[in-house]
Structure 1
Amino acid sequence: MASFHKGFIKTHPLISAILYVLRLYLAFSTVSPVTTAIDPCYNYTELNDTWRSINNTHPSVINCDRFVSWSGWYRLFINNTSAHIPDTCVAQSSCGTDVPLWIRGGHPTVTDGVVTRDVCGHWSGYAASYCCYFGSFPIKVKACPDNYYVYELVSPTLCSSAYCADTGSINTSPTTVTPVTISPDPCYNYTELNDTWRSINNTHPSVINCDYHVSWSGWYRLFINNTSAHIPDTCVAQSSCGTDIALWIRGGHPTVSDGVVTRDVCGNAGSYCCSYGSFPIKVKACPGNYYVYELVSPTTCNLAYCADTGSINTSPTTVTPVTISPGNVTHCVSIGLFSEWFLMYVGYRSGLHFPKAS
């Protein structure tokens, strides 16, 4: 034991010098935080076009956000009053444009951080009007202290569409869909839909089909060449399924225990998988591993429901909130590693051995 203490009392001169230098470095160096991101609540561009007001209906000048050079985050104002993008349906031909854009899913709270929201545009096709007739690229939204919101805006998919601004109430409680039980059970009371042209493999067809004028009634089960099929629940390529704009559902398929659920219908027009929306439909999973659908007429031609015999998604994608905040990186780790490596090297050269850091 005495020899152990004696070995460390007679410290090697080079080790003493290195430890002294490290002590000086630690004493006088300052640890500077490194910012990895900027909080958009305090770094935004003001968007104060008065024509964006939901009260600006049937405007003489039709505005379009398609060709705006969007960059970063924006906060909306109307006549110096803080505003927000509406989170409920906006009347067609309002907000200074033809297709007013609103977000669905409600606004987040401050604790939610940054969330993603779908963008919808209200329009009418033939005689059908639908609040999400045109879809657009999703945007990010953040609730800020002091009761305002910022948005990471992007170009919408078409003209003439533009983001709305509203100074009214905010929805921070997104609507949840409650499963429905229907009698008689549609799993055993359906019509077979066995058009082979609906297959996702039928691309660039010579005959363009349309489901708008079909007299839909009740529930349907899909087949392709006598094989049970389903409506795809992931994006379908444009000009497939025997039509121009192939219709698919988003939100995944339900399980048997879910009962009857409602799913949004999307159509890919080339620029975005949900460029065209259509009226929602009801879906039910049945014992025996098949699905039935309460189909309705889409909003326009040429749109048609797809049929697929591939895999099913029963786990709907959820959007995980993202937090954008400054991150701190200190020098402690690098100093520790430097000292460990250097002392091990000196010890090796001096015939001493140091325990390895855990």
Structure 2
Amino acid sequence: MADGSLNQQLYIYRQQVKVIHQLLVAECPEMMVTERSLSDEDIHPFTLEILKTVYNKLFAQLIKCRTTPCRTATNLTEYWRMDHNASSIAGGGERAYSNYACDIRPSLKWFRFTGKAGKKMLDNCVPEYSCGTDYPMWADADMPKRIAQTITVQAWYSGNGCASKIASGTLQVLRCSESEYDVVYKHLPTSYSSTCNRAFCGMD
């Protein structure tokens, strides 16, 4: 009976480990997880304790996974982020200056581009009064190549019709999956003000 009970517990925990591992692979490819390989020869009194440890670690990773920036980032979907032609569209929104959009605000933490805003952040200069704001922002650095890689790059905004590019704090960029478009960004400005007229541009 004792062996039967142990084998049943081993079977249950092994199935639970597999299920959680599959969830992590499906939901959080940015988290590098592995499943301990078990063979029939591994079934001994210590194996149950090992399985419990593996299960607890994977469960903790799943909880962490579901609260990572890749899961919680704000989706930027505004169509005006794709205006690269100085159309003077006033994007409005929180802390907007003269109704021109402002992305330099504490409430905007991690974000991604999707829908009408494009697939990723613009990588080149566009003239003032583009992207729903006075001074459009972008980043022209190489983006992360590896899943789960986070890098820090310089953010820029346009000046004098692209005659100059002006630093606007830095960006943390995290790659969430194999897709080059599945990245999230976090702007780290040097300071905040009550209003601003700088916002990020998107591109396809």
Q: Which runs of 5+ in 1 are unaligned?
A: 1-22, 168-358
Q: Residue 64 of structure 1 aligns with which residue?
A: 102
How far the C-alpha of 1:91 sits from its partner, in A, is 2.1
What is the number of equivalent residue pairs in this alignment? 139
Q: Residue 139 of structure 1 aligns with which residue?
A: 171
Q: Relative contact order, CA 8 A, sep 6+: which one is greater?
A: 2
Q: CA RMSD in A?
A: 3.1
Q: Residue 97 of structure 2 aligns with which residue?
A: none
Distance 2:145 2:184 in 1: 12
Distance 1:91 1:69 in 2: 26
Q: Is the 8 A contact 1:90 1:131 kept in 2?
A: no
Larger Cα Rg: Structure 1 or Structure 2? 1
Q: Are residues 1:164 and 2:201 paired? A: yes
Q: Would you tell me which structure has more helix in proportion to its own residues? A: 2
1:218-249 deviation per Cα after TM superposition (whole angstroms, max 9, x unaligned): xxxxxxxxxxxxxxxxxxxxxxxxxxxxxxxx
Distance 1:156 1:94 in 2: 23
The SS at the match of 2:102 is coil
Equivalent positions of 1:92-241 (< 5 A) are: 92-110=128-146, 113-124=149-160, 130-133=163-166, 135-143=167-175, 144-148=177-181, 149-155=183-189, 159-167=196-204
- Go from structure 1 to structure 2 and tell me whether the alpha carbon gap of 1:37 and 1:153 turns closer, same or farther (over 3 Å shift): farther
How far the C-alpha of 1:117 sits from its partner, in A, is 0.8
The SS at the match of 2:80 is helix
How far the C-alpha of 1:96 sits from its partner, in A, is 0.9
- Go from structure 1 to structure 2 and tell me whether the alpha carbon gap of 1:129 and 1:145 turns closer, same or farther (over 3 Å shift): closer
Q: Would you tell me which structure has more strand in proportion to its own residues? A: 1
TM-score, normalization by structure 2 = 0.56
Equivalent positions of 1:256-295 (< 5 A) are: none
1:52-81 deviation per Cα after TM superposition (whole angstroms, max 9, x unaligned): 11336232422122335123x2211242x7
Q: Is the 8 A contact 1:115 1:141 kept in 2?
A: yes
Distance 1:131 1:112 in 2: 33
- Percent identical: 23
Partner residue of 1:55 out of 84, 94, 97: 84
TM-score, normalization by structure 1 = 0.34
Distance 1:83 1:49 in 2: 12
Distance 2:85 2:46 in 1: 64
Distance 2:81 2:171 in 1: 17
Distance 1:92 1:55 in 2: 9
- Go from structure 1 to structure 2 and tell me whether the alpha carbon gap of 1:77 and 1:65 turns closer, same or farther (over 3 Å shift): same
The SS at the match of 1:110 is coil
How far the C-alpha of 1:82 sits from its partner, in A, is 4.7
How far the C-alpha of 1:156 sits from its partner, in A, is 7.0
Q: Is the 8 A contact 1:68 1:155 kept in 2?
A: no
Q: Which runs of 5+ in 2 are unaligned?
A: 1-43, 91-99
